[in-house]
């Protein structure tokens, strides 16, 4: 029987675009902080953002996949 502390959660690769400045700052922070990793810093930041957005209660499950591609521009009320 496996010790539950040794079982790692499944990870998924996610590709996204960030500003060049943000990526450079992130790399600099990790460079000067030997105990940190890029993944660790990003996971921590996302976890904090999720907690703030969810306000202690998770959102309902999605009904489908997220739309692919760039978001559509908002349509103006002009005809």
Q: Evaluate whether residue 44 is within a structural domain.
A: yes
Q: Evaluate whether residue 8 is within a structural domain.
A: no
Q: Is the pTM for the entire model greater than 0.85?
A: no
Q: Strand (E) positions, the chain? A: none
Asked whether residue 76 carries a pLDDT value surpassing 70, the answer given is: no
- Summarize pLDDT for 2-39 with one digit per residue, the tens: 555 556 789 999 998 999 999 999 999 999 999 999 99
C-beta pairs of 45-52 under 8 Å, 24+ apart in sequence: none
Q: Evaluate whether residue 29 is within a structural domain.
A: yes
Q: Evaluate whether residue 15 is within a structural domain.
A: no
The single residue listed with the structure tokens 């760039």 is 70
Q: Evaluate whether residue 79 is within a structural domain.
A: no
pLDDT of residue 69: 78
- Summarize pLDDT for 39-62 with one digit per residue, the tens: 999 999 999 999 999 999 999 999
């Amino acid at each position: 029987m496996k010790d539950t502390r040794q079982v790692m959660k499944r990870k998924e690769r996610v590709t996204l675009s960030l500003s060049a400045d943000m990526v450079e700052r992130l790399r600099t922070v990790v460079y000067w902080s030997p105990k940190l990793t890029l993944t660790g810093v990003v996971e921590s930041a996302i976890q904090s953002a999720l907690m703030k957005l969810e306000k202690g209660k998770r959102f309902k499950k999605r009904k489908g996949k997220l739309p692919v591609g760039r978001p559509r521009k908002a349509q103006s009320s002009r005809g």
